[in-house]
Structure 1
């Protein structure tokens, strides 16, 4: 299990810092630092750094294998985030869906897409044992 004294770090490319800041702040992420070539956010308690790299952008993103996101342990947090995304007109890559219906690993999920075509998945497993 993760201790509270650890923060996961993820670095991703972005094509425009202003658009990136607008998207992640709209998502509810706090801007921690901004430099000429990158921005750092508090992404649900972890650190996401968006490095300016317009040549690194995936012009045709696919859900698999490249995405990142949050797995909620409480269904209400998942529902609240989904409602928040809808209310704030965040761009969906896929609509909310149920994956692996009827199986032990059944879960709720939706994907957002940021201005640099990075895909963000938000999900909730009915069986907490399936989280890992």
Structure 2
């Protein structure tokens, strides 16, 4: 079973590693842990995201489904802090913060960002933390 010492790992394409490092580190505050010619490894809110150089990644109009990744915050304050960071740093927003499933047990606020390679990142907070999973 996963413990707090473990980290989830996700590898994604990046057309340009400098752009990826700027977006994830300078805009979202996710430190670059390691950098090589062909990839950067990031501390993505306590988990590991690796951006692999893929300059041939086609430029397409991104869609939230079927593929995106992100963080579900347990605390509303953490979600709100991210919203402020996005506003202050003018992070590219794919879908502005909005409320989904209002009035139900699954009610949550969601925000979707777009990285320089058109990977989509969804950040959420559920009113009822039992709905996180």
TM-score range for the pair, normalised by the shorter chain length:
over 0.9
Measured against aligned partners, the alpha-carbon deviations of 1:98-125 in whole angstroms (never above 9, x if no partner) come to: 0111111110010010000000111000
Q: Structure 1 residue 57: deviation in Å?
A: 4.2
Q: Distance in 2 between matches of 1:57 and 1:70?
A: 25
Give the TM-score normalised by the residue count of structure 1.
Answer: 0.96
Does 2:3 align with 1:3?
A: yes
Determine the structure 2 residue equivalent to 1:53.
54
Give the TM-score normalised by the residue count of structure 2.
Answer: 0.95
Q: 1:57 to 1:27 in 2, by over 3 A?
A: farther
Determine the structure 2 residue equivalent to 1:20.
20
Structure 2 portions without partners, runs of 5+: none
Q: Distance in 2 between matches of 1:73 and 1:57?
A: 35
Matched-pair contact (CA < 8 Å) for 1:13–1:57 = no
Does 2:125 align with 1:102?
A: no
Provide the alpha-carbon RMSD of the alignment: 1.2
Q: Distance in 2 between matches of 1:58 and 1:71?
A: 27
Q: Please state whether the residue corresponding to 2:66 is helix, strand or coil.
A: coil
Q: Size of the alignment, in residue pairs?
A: 132
Structure 1 portions without partners, runs of 5+: none
Q: Please state whether the residue corresponding to 1:54 is helix, strand or coil.
A: coil
User: Equivalences for 1:23-38 in 2 at 5 Å?
Assistant: 23-25=23-25, 26-38=27-39
Q: Structure 1 residue 94: deviation in Å?
A: 0.4
Q: Distance in 1 between matches of 2:62 and 2:51?
A: 17
